[in-house]
């Protein structure tokens, strides 16, 4: 597990304290054997719903949802050490969130984007996106449209929050940032 780092919503929640997260997403830049990692995790408790694909291991360990994923993209900033594990930087998490929202817009991801945009502008985030995914050609108009497509998320429940945010305020703030964004 030493080559893995925590990223995603839980990592962001640890950094900013805005909401609870129910799963742990671990990434590594190194290729790994999911079945070998599964055997190591079996020593730590009960495994359920194990799903293995090349470069990916999804499972529940003692009823906690875990994902381990080969993620070959550059880290823009150093890890943040936290209680014996490495956590992605805010900017690295932010770039991943943009891509995640462009593929599926869940309410928790929009909430995460909202708190990220209180730390940096959309312009800064897109410039970092180019840096992080230098060899990937993204369709930026599609990403921008995804950032204001809330139809699926509107029907989802609010996650357990540690800060008092209104869903309507979150959407309005994101729409405002997208409207003033130019390439």
d(CA 75, CA 95): 10
Whether 154 shows a pLDDT value over 90: the answer reads yes
- Measure CA 56 to chain center: 16
Whether 47 shows a pLDDT value over 80: the answer reads yes
The residue extents of the domains of the chain are: 5-29+71-179
- State the pLDDT confidence band at 105, using cuts at 50, 70 and 90: confident
Please give the average per-residue pLDDT across 66-87, as a whole number. 95
pLDDT at 132: 94
pLDDT at 183: 62
Helix/strand/coil for 26:
strand
Helix/strand/coil for 82:
strand
- State the pLDDT confidence band at 77, using cuts at 50, 70 and 90: very high
Please give the average per-residue pLDDT across 103-124, as a whole number. 95
Please give the average per-residue pLDDT across 111-127, as a whole number. 96
Helix/strand/coil for 3:
coil
Please give the average per-residue pLDDT across 13-33, as a whole number. 95
HSE at residue 135, side-chain half, CA atoms within 13 A, is 3
d(CA 35, CA 56): 10
Whether 181 shows a pLDDT value over 90: the answer reads no
Residue 168 has phi, psi (to 5 degrees) of -65, -40
Q: Are 29 and 52 in contact (CB under 8 A)?
A: no
Alpha-helix runs per DSSP H in 77-166 = 90-103, 107-116, 122-132, 140-147, 151-154
């Amino acid at each position: 597990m030493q080559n893995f780092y925590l990223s995603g919503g839980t990592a962001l929640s640890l950094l900013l304290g805005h909401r609870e997260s129910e799963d742990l997403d671990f990434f590594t830049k190194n290729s790994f054997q999911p079945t070998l990692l599964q055997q190591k995790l079996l020593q730590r408790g009960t495994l359920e719903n194990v799903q293995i694909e090349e470069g990916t291991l999804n499972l529940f360990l003692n009823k906690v949802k875990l994902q381990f994923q080969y993620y070959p993209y550059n880290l823009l900033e150093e890890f943040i050490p936290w209680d014996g594990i490495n956590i992605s930087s805010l900017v690295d998490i932010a770039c991943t969130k943009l891509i995640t929202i462009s593929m599926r817009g869940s309410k928790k991801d929009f909430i995460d984007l909202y708190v990220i945009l209180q730390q940096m502008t959309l312009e800064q985030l897109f410039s970092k996106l180019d840096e992080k995914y230098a060899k990937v050609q993204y369709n930026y108009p599609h990403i921008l449209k995804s950032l204001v497509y809330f139809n699926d998320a509107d029907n989802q429940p609010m996650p357990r929050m540690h800060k008092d945010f209104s869903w309507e305020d979150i959407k309005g703030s994101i729409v405002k940032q997208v409207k003033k964004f130019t390439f």
